[in-house]
């Protein structure tokens, strides 16, 4: 089988020739280490008086942002190919620099949805971005933002479609690019408002929250249509519905606010004859039955440091969901020994791969995931993942 047949066979809960392996390579540090590229410390450059103005204007030009972002994403897919992965996620994002007195640099990134992302270093000389606060913490500010940014939302969809198409056209004969429509409806809803305000408004201003959810549902469906026009075979979406100890909000409330939205997402993807995989970090056992009811084809992450165990998830969902994950990125794929990596791969295959419906991957990505340990993971999957499983 080739990479595409192998991956789609597994998602259909049939046994391919061997367990597919999916990459979550995205961070510049990982890409640079694999491809031998040099890091570019953008925050440091922005603190140089002579460079600050010209560099900010350059970064805020759409053509340069897309060129820079595509360059790293292209490198991520190339890295995944070099390491032997069958698939890798591909994610589009668009942000603009704005003055910000609360940050050390005096600048922060604003995304189209109304979030502030502060810059820092990933420890390897590359820029890192972290969501820190909301820009639209009142109903009035959110309404004004949504109206003012309407043309930008349309541009993001066009850019995302072009971005994914370029990757599919360039790499689709060597690896399966997974189109990641991110962030999702839940995160888009609350992060621009702030979690405390959002949860308060759920009860104090339910009509406003419904407008927000409806707005982001409609946008997300259009975004998904754009991603699927690129030719991707599998669409990855998601929202972090959990934290280390359990759900961020009661599952019953998520169902009330977002259940119909998620069903529309799955229906749209299935109408286009694609598969929909849902990403969520955290301890999400209480959501698994909802994922099935909403029509999702599979889930990715199953964060081990949040107590998610593959065998337990498989026992709960059977073959109603394909499972992708869940090798630890807190220690195992950072500084684990080769024996430990191999043992974790064998355990994952033993727990979830029989009968198909399983794709091996890291639980997530970050700058300190070690490329050599990713290579060990892939090699172990090739060695121990042949069907029929005999571990």
| 275 in any annotated domain | yes
| 113 in any annotated domain | no
| 187 in any annotated domain | yes
Task: Express each pLDDT in 128-156 by its tens digit.
Answer: 999 999 999 999 999 999 999 999 999 99
- Measured on CA atoms in the order 302, 304, 307, 309, is the torsion positive or negative? positive
Q: What angle is formed at CA 314 by the lines to CA 312 and CA 318, rounded to 5 degrees? A: 135
The closest of 122, 111, 31 to 70, measured between CA atoms, is 31
pLDDT of residue 239: 97
* 383 token code pair: 């060695």
| 56 in any annotated domain | no
* 91 token code pair: 């994610």
pLDDT of residue 105: 86
* 177 token code pair: 């690019």
Whichever domain contains 329, its CATH number is 3.20.20.210
Task: Express each pLDDT in 201-228 by its tens digit.
Answer: 999 999 999 999 999 999 999 999 999 9
Which residues of the chain are under the pLDDT cut of 70? Answer: none
| Residues spanned by the domain of 273 | 3-39+62-94+146-384
Residues with Cβ within 8 Å of residue 328, at least 6 apart in sequence = 304, 305, 336, 344, 363
Asked whether the beta carbons of 341 and 299 are under 8 A apart, the reply is no
Chain centre distance of CA 5: 23
| 377 in any annotated domain | yes
Asked whether the beta carbons of 114 and 138 are under 8 A apart, the reply is no
Tell me the C-alpha to C-alpha distance, in Å, between residue 240 and each of 180, 324, 335. Answer: 14, 16, 26
| 242 in any annotated domain | yes
- Domain count along the chain: 1
| 241 in any annotated domain | yes
Q: State the pTM of this model.
A: 0.96
The DSSP 8-state label assigned to residue 297 in this structure reads -
Order of strands across the sheet with 127-134?
Answer: 95-99, 107-111, 115-121, 127-134
Output phi, psi for 168, to 5 deg.
-65, -45
pLDDT of residue 206: 98
Residues with Cβ within 8 Å of residue 104, at least 6 apart in sequence = none
pLDDT of residue 123: 87
Alpha-carbon distance of 381 to 275, in angstroms, equals 23
pLDDT of residue 104: 83
| 48 in any annotated domain | no
């Amino acid at each position: 089988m080739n990479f595409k047949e192998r991956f789609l066979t597994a998602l259909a809960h049939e046994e391919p020739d061997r367990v597919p392996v999916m990459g979550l390579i995205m961070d510049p540090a990982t890409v640079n280490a694999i491809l031998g590229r040099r890091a570019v410390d953008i925050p440091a450059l922005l603190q140089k008086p002579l460079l600050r103005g010209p560099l900010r204007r350059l970064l805020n030009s759409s053509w340069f942002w897309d060129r820079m972002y595509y360059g790293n994403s292209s490198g991520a897919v190339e890295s995944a190919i070099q390491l032997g992965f069958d698939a890798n996620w591909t994610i589009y994002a668009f942000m603009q620099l704005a003055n910000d007195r609360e940050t050390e640099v005096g600048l922060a990134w604003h995304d189209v949805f109304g979030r502030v992302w502060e810059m820092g270093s990933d420890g390897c000389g590359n820029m890192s971005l972290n969501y820190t606060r909301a820009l639209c913490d009142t109903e009035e500010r959110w309404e004004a933002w949504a109206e003012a940014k309407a043309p930008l939302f349309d541009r993001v969809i066009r850019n995302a479609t072009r971005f994914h198409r370029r990757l599919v056209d360039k790499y689709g004969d060597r690896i399966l690019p997974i189109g990641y429509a991110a962030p999702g409806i839940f995160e888009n809803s609350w992060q621009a408002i702030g979690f405390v305000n959002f949860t308060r408004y759920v009860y104090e201003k339910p009509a406003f929250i419904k407008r927000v959810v409806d707005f982001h549902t409609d946008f997300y469906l259009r975004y998904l249509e754009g991603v699927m026009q690129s030719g991707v075979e599998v669409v990855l979406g998601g929202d972090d519905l959990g934290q280390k100890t359990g759900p961020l909000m009661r599952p019953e409330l998520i169902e009330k606010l977002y259940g119909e939205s998620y069903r529309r997402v799955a229906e749209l993807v299935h109408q286009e004859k694609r598969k929909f995989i849902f990403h969520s970090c955290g301890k999400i056992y209480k959501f698994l039955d909802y994922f099935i009811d909403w029509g999702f084809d599979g889930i990715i992450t199953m964060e081990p440091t949040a107590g998610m165990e593959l065998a337990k998830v498989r026992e709960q969902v059977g073959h109603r969901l394909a499972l992708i994950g869940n090798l630890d990125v807190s220690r195992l794929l950072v500084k684990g020994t080769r024996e430990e990596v191999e043992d974790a791969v064998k355990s994952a295959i033993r727990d979830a791969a029989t009968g198909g419906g399983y794709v091996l991957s890291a639980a997530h990505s970050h700058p300190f995931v070690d490329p050599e340990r990713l290579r060990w993971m892939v090699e172990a999957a090739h060695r121990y993942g042949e069907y029929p499983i005999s571990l």
